[in-house]
């Protein structure tokens, strides 16, 4: 939900309230194909407490997320920071994160700072407020909207 929150609070509200439109979205399907074809030897999709779902963990105590592009990089960075935060809250320390962009042949290393933890606390309060509201947040147009699975719901 943190990822959706940073991409679009309205999308977060739809998702959290059971309105899911991504199953037939072409761009989401491309992401699924990339996920399936990259790092095939890794034990993938590690779900913890039905709260976080890490793409995979490497032996160097690195958690990995695989993304097709840097289009929403900031949300991806905070997604990894949240995973680190969540695990730290449960006593798992000494981890770092990596976002891997196989199509770009690039990766970005992610760490969690005390300032990040405070920002995450604030974001989580806002997320709880949004998902429990009776209606979605106001529509705000962003560059990414044209590629969103929820586009028709928001604009038509």
- The confidence band for 96, taking pLDDT boundaries of 50, 70 and 90, is very high
138 assigned to some structural domain: yes
67 assigned to some structural domain: yes
Q: Note the pLDDT tens digit of each residue in 121-153.
A: 999 999 999 999 999 999 999 988 988 888 888
51 assigned to some structural domain: yes
Return the C-alpha torsion angle 141, 147, 151, 156, nearest 10: 90
Q: Note the pLDDT tens digit of each residue in 44-75.
A: 788 999 999 998 888 779 999 988 888 889 99
Q: Where are the alpha helices (DSSP H) in the chain?
A: 2-7, 9-16, 26-37, 73-89, 114-132, 151-155
154 assigned to some structural domain: no
29 assigned to some structural domain: yes
How many domains are contained in the chain? 1
Please state, in angstroms and as integers, the Cα–Cα distance from residue 86 to each residue in 54, 94, 118, 134, following that order.
Answer: 11, 13, 13, 27
For residue 37, give the CATH number of its domain.
3.90.320.10
155 assigned to some structural domain: no
Q: Give the domain range for residue 41.
A: 2-146
Is the pTM higher than 0.75? The answer reads: yes
Rounded Cα distance between 72 and 77, Å, is: 9
């Amino acid at each position: 939900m943190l990822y959706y929150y940073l991409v679009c609070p309205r999308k977060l509200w739809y998702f959290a309230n059971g309105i899911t439109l991504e199953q037939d979205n072409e761009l989401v399907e491309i992401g699924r194909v990339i996920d399936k074809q990259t790092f095939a030897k890794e034990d993938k999709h590690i779900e913890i407490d039905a709260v976080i779902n890490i793409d995979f963990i490497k032996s160097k105590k690195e958690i990995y997320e695989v993304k097709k592009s840097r289009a929403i990089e900031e949300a991806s960075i905070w997604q990894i920071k949240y995973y680190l935060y969540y695990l730290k809250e449960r006593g798992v320390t000494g981890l770092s994160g990596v976002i891997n962009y196989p199509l770009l042949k690039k990766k970005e290393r992610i760490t969690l700072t005390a300032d990040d933890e405070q920002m995450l606390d604030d974001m989580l309060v806002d997320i709880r407020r949004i998902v429990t509201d009776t209606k979605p947040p106001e529509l705000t147009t962003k560059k990414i909207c044209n590629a969103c699975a929820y586009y028709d719901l928001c604009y038509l």
